[in-house]
Structures are given as structure tokens and as C-alpha cells.
Structure 1
């Protein structure tokens, strides 16, 4: 409990004594305070859920609260966070049905009392003819043909999606080259298609990565229509040990200019892609107010925070921070500790307690060396309809403290620190610390209230100012950055970068023509940010791709009629200003017209470089994780005009001669 709550008890008791005593006049009567109406938490259970459902609570006929519940493969208990007065008329309804299921509510309405408050049962059943969506992934594979028992022909979407019915099989193909049929599922990789045949798996990986249209498998694999045309009459056995030689012969015969990439290169990328699936945050729930949030920051480090006390010295809001190794093919998994405050909780207790991890799109299964209590399953923290949900990262360079802010459904939040240095008066700082709590968003902004905390005033909540609205606004950008504006006269703006993969729609939006989508890609931000030896003090070149009719569409001006498809850029003179922000100079030249922009830029706390020209447009450059096939830095470049129209491209920053 918070110190302010503890102090309120003796203060309130003293006030009662003063009111009741100190006067011998028995004729004076004191009116007792009214008896408060008892309040109850409305609870229930969900059975059979396979996706995410949103429930709605109505009070006296008016909707008062919604609650999202995500499946983890087991029956789920739920509790609406806000206590309600006993005696009200209440009703629980399904606000949003889960994908491909229909859920019904029983014992979910009536007069609220101790019995009805815990009687609700939500039962979910599969819709047998509901169309499901799966993803084909090495990286997400776009433009590949597929067929199922009920779908004669289809093409995967720009982020690898395909449609199927439950129980069907799916067959993918490129031209006349057919892959083995496999059971349709929410995630399919060459591993599932090959069904244990290593030769088949590697052949599929090599072919898909070779045919990628932009030689950048990190942003997804895009199979062009011309690739299907090229191989339309090439009937080859993808399961054969001779596939490499046969496909290369076909490439040569057709004068394609293609050569199958090596097995080593294909497997290396597949491993990197699988590792990207692990990134982000995962939720494990042991019961009410007993949650653990696990975040994989990058391919080698993790952090977890516990909401509750447990055996072995685990305290509420305690944290474990460490390194991990993971073989994405075998699942072999182990950890080593950097620092911790959770005793023997978590994954480390005088050594790694875990030995295997298997990841799907939205499920993570972890096995322990002592597996007496079985595996645990964690659910991915994300919401495709709400980009705020997930984990956001910021580094305090002065304190060398990484902070991870996780927004959960139902206006819950979590924050975890690796090296907190703050504490309330009279207490010592807890380095590995954090908060669990709830937040509200209204006309005043965002107000956070911790239910458990160990980080003093260094989180999103402080007992020193419990009623403050910390942020006036929060904006989520298309390049994976959260921009928060602090309230108050001295409030500023700071940014956090998204942890894990996110989908962006690339678009060109010139000033005199309608914006045109260039397709969606899946990206992971490079959280080391823009300050990189690959970028600074090196002349770089990048191209902006337009949808069509380049000559006429090349009107996305950057400044006074500056227009172009190819740019060169030189970033230099990096330094810190008086308040610790990174700043520098940039020279941007449009190659065709040789027009130049020389201006200063700043780097956000999320590592994005931003600069403007004549206050007409702003350019942002956000480095992405993973190199191009040429070994160059990849980035998302955005241009935003004064009307808030955004153009967004993924580019390769190619070194040029000075």
C-alpha cells in the first residue's frame, strides 16, 4: 500500500474521536454518517475462446466499461476493473466477437449481489464456415500463389496473408513449381511445409529469397508477377537434392540473370526472421493481480517484471534483466543474469531455469529444466486495431537506464527499469524496478495510477503528485515511434521506440496528386537509433520510389520546389545541446537538379533524425534493424507537409564517393 493510504487511517480515526468526545452534554446528538453502499467486483469465466473478445458492462441500461480478453489456449477468468454498487441492474454483453467464433453470455445480467457478481459464463464456439487468415513467413511472403480445398487460386497479400477454412490444407506455388501441401494455420513457414525434410525446407528458403524483388528480405519477401511468368513452364521437384542445380540451369536458359542464393545465406536470414518473431512483450497470468510481463528487447537481452510477491524473494514490481541465447530451429533456450531484484523468481536462480522456447505468432511456450509443473504459455501483447498496445523503449543516457513502457488492453500499463536511481524521501532506490497500474484518457490528457510500484517517482506515477495528468497527448507514428507531450509549463516532448515488429503502409503523397499506396511492410526499429557509424560523416545516397508516372508524380517538394527521386545526404557535426539533445548538420542534395538543402537537425529520444526546411515540410529518418542484401543501413523516411500529409518510403542508405 502507498504511504498516503496508511497515514489516512490514524488521521481519520482521530477525527472520529474528536467528534464523539470532549463534551459532557448528553443532550447533544451526533448524526451518524450514512452507511456506504457495498461495492462488488463483477467477475466471470470465458470458455472455448481462441482469439480476442471484447465484453461490455452495462449499468442500469447504460454502457459503462469494456473489457478485452485474449486467449492463451486455456479457459480464462475475467474481472471488470471498476467496482459497482450492490443492487444496480447490470448486464454483460459481447461488444466484439472473436475472429471465426460466436460467443454467448449466460448468467450475465440481473440485480447485482454477491451471487450474481461471480456467476457470468461466456461460451465461445467455432463458426465452421468462417474464413480465417494465416501468414506465410520466411519474412512475410507476398505475391506467392496458393490454393486450398475451397479456394482454387489466391495470391498472398503484401504482408503474406492468405485465407482458408478451418481444417483445410494449403498449397503454395511459384510458376509451375509446387510446394508440398500443408495444414493451413495462422502461421506457416518453410519448416511446416517441409514436414521434417531439411532439403525441402532449405530449397524453399533459397527460392523465395532469390526471387525477392528488392533484394531486401528484411522488409518481407515480394514475389513479382514476372517471377511467376519466368517459371510458368518450369516443372521442378522442390523436395529434390538436385533442385539447386536444376533451378540454376533454368535461370540460365531463360537469361534471367538470377542465381540461387547459398544455403548458408538462406538459413542465416531465416534464423534472423524467426528471432524477430520473439521480439516484443509477452504476458503470463497466474491469477488475478498476478501478472508477469516478459520483453525481448533485441536478439540477446530480455527484461521481465512481476506484479506480485512469490516464493524465493520475489516482491511486487520486482525485475529481472539479463541475456538470453535461443536456437530458433531446435528451441534450445537459456539465460544469464545482468541484474535482478526478483530473488529466485523469473528465469534465473543461480543459473538458467529454462531450457526451451517455441514461438508462434501470438503464443510463446517456455519449458523449464525442472518441469514438474509443466510448460507455461505466454500471449503476445499487441492489438492490430490499437497501435498503442505493446512495449515502448527509451534510454536515459545520463543514468544508463533503459525503461520499457508496456500498454496493455483495458487501460492497464506496466513500466520496467534496468537502472532506476530515484526513490521517495527516506527510502533507497531500487535499480531494477517498475510499476503496474491503470490509466485514464480524457480531455485533460493521460493520468496514470500505480497499483504496485518500486521505482519511486521515476515512473509514470508518483505519490508526490498522484492526481497529475502526465501527458497532454500521445501520438503513434507510422515509423514505430511514440511521441508524448508532457503537461505543464516546463513540459516537453519525448519519444519512445516500439519494441518488436510493426506494419507500415508505404505511400507517396505528392502535393498535386492523390497519395498512392506502395504496399505494406513489416519492420523492426534499430533501437540504437540514428547515431551510427554506418551513417554519420559518410556521404550516403537513397532513392524515393513513386507508384507510377514518375515524371509527373515527382512533385513531393522538400522546400521551395525542390523535387527528386534520388538524394545524397551527409550528416556531420554531431554534438549535444545544453539540455542534452543530440543535434547536428545535414546536407541534402537532389541529384537530378543539384538543388541543395543545408540545415540543422535533431535526434529524438527514440533515435529518429528530424529536420525541416522553410517551415514547409519535415523529413524524418528512422533506422531499421537488419542490413540490406548489399550490407547497407535500411531506414524509413517520412516527409510531412504543413497539411499533415505524410509520404513514407523504405530506403537503403548506400555509401557514395565524397
Structure 2
């Protein structure tokens, strides 16, 4: 049993073309032609540049240019890239879309990416009123002073250049900038949450967790020992939106059936939520309350929530390794079977707090994508061992599938 995802994340941009046909006719000593109707100009789309909406920053696409408005909005045509700049400080280009964040600019799915965090630090530091919580406005004077930055991954060079250009302006720490960026992207819910108290499910649930990613997607995994796959146990995958007090969850893939999970209540489902420290209280329609506890975030070592994408199969996989030795794997793509696997793991040579290389051995207690399918991380009754290398926020797993030596990269989420 082995992973079957591709090893290189990528972003796909789809284009379209229009073919015009010219008709002509002749005869009877005279000729005439049919005029070709003009093609209407494409209508520009509207996107928002965020780490909080960023106002008054220059933008450029192949056909559009200008300055973002008070809502951080810019114009673009489908399929274009967009580049944002503050004077000589040109940020990396990214595919233009409805929402563009520092993570998009550096083509990462990890909110811990150093380049993304440093871009967020710059934007937050230059905010005209010093309070990015109410939006970011880049002052006009910043363009004349902003230095050119060749590599946003080099924090020391960035900090020195910024201090020389903007005397008296203090850049936020990486931790502060990251927290603000994640709160903007996910309303404070980004992270991995484990069910710790439930009115209805407590007698049955062996494991339940919900994982909110900064790209607006979520995965819900639940395992009821007394219930089989698709009958309450399994996974759901979908999208979420939020306000300060409500979450709306829309399930796109439902593999736990009508007996359990989010879609068994409603789809989409809107719930009230409130954060109390590391606990989130979820109030469902009708008044029932569940308590979820956020798992600690990690910036080094193997412990944490990891994500991989598979553009060829429109897929995503999530791997959670906890400090207590529990493992959860969720797979959702167009190349079935998909599903949830849960169990325990042990490591050899791997550090929970630092870069390292070694092996992980996984023993599953729940597997709903079936034995011998070429999907997932193992089979029940047959422990699986994989070589792993951790470097910063990248985990490289040697899967040896489908070919010897094949690897797959996962990227730390929190």
C-alpha cells in the first residue's frame, strides 16, 4: 500500500481561444462579402489582494494596471498573472484570481513559508495607521522610499534594507505577521481541531477532528468504533466561509454517509462559534454544542498537520502526526478510492522539534479506502514503513510507488 499522489505541487492556469470564420461569396459578375462581427472585449474581473485588504498598492497584469482601491481590489482578465509593487519593491507575480494572498505570491500551500510571512511583515509594517486589523493602506510616500528586494526569504537582508529605507518604522515579528495573515485568511479558525466534548457523539466517537486550511477548504474526519465506513465513520471535504461569529461549511465530498458528519445535519451548514483560548465552542441549529480543542502548532520537526496537492487528479491529501503518536490521513481526488485512515505510528531517527531524516512506521486501526487499492498509507494488520526527511516546512516521503525511489512532498500547515 503506498501513496499515489504526484510529487510536485503546481498551479494550473486554463486558457481559452476563440476562432473566427470569415465567409465570402461570389457570382453573377458581382461579389459581396459578409462582414465579420467584431469580438466584444472581455470584461475585466475583480480580485482582492489581502493580508487584510491592501489598499493603494500598484498592480500590473498583461492588460490591466493601476492602484488597488480602498477594498484592496484590482482588475484582471482570466488567465493573467498579477504583479504588485511599492516603488522599487516588486513582489513576486502570481496567477490573478478572486483572492490573492502572500502565500499565492510565492506559490506555496504552507502558511509557515518564510517568504510569504516576510511579505506579510512588509505590508503590515507599512500600513498607514499601524493597525492592519482594520485593513492595510500603503501610504503614497512609501513608493519613493521602498528598496528593491531580490529575495524575500533572506530575513536579515530584508530587515536591514527596510530599516534603512523606513527609519522609525518597526516591522512586526514573524509570529505576529503570520497570526494576522492566518486570521485574515481563516477568521481565526485555521488549524487542526480535535473533538473533546460532545452532547450526542461522546459515547461513540473514538476520533473526530476538523482541519481548516488557509485556502478556504476543510477536511472533517470521524471514526465511530460501532459504526462502519459510510455509516457515520469516514471523511468529508469541502469549503468554508466565516464571519466573526458564524461558520458556513459546504461539503463537496461526503464519504461518511447520511448517518454522520456535517452534511447529515445540513449542507451547507451554518453554525455559531466562539473561541475560548484554544477551545472552540460550536453551536448547531437546535442548540447542541460541541467543544473542539486546537492542536498545538509546530514550526519544526515531524509533528503537525501536512498537506500535499495533486493537480493531475484535482486532489489533496492531509497527513496529521501528533506528539502522542496518533496518525490521521485523508485523501480526496478524482482518482478513487478516497477516504480516511487512522492509527498510530512510531519513528526511528526523526526529531519532533528539528530537521531530521529517518523512518516512520504506521499501524492502522481504521481504513475505509480498502486493502490493496494502491491508495492511502497502509492496510489494517500490515504495518507500513516509509523513509522520511524533514527540511523546514517540507516533508519528503519516499513512497517507492509506482516506481522505486518515487517520493512525495507534504507541506507543513500549522
| TM-score with structure 1 setting the length | 0.33
The structure with the greater share of residues assigned to strand is 1
Between 1 and 2, higher relative CO (CA 8 Å, sep ≥ 6) is seen in 2
| TM-score with structure 2 setting the length | 0.49
- Indicate the structure (1 or 2) with the bigger Cα radius of gyration: 1
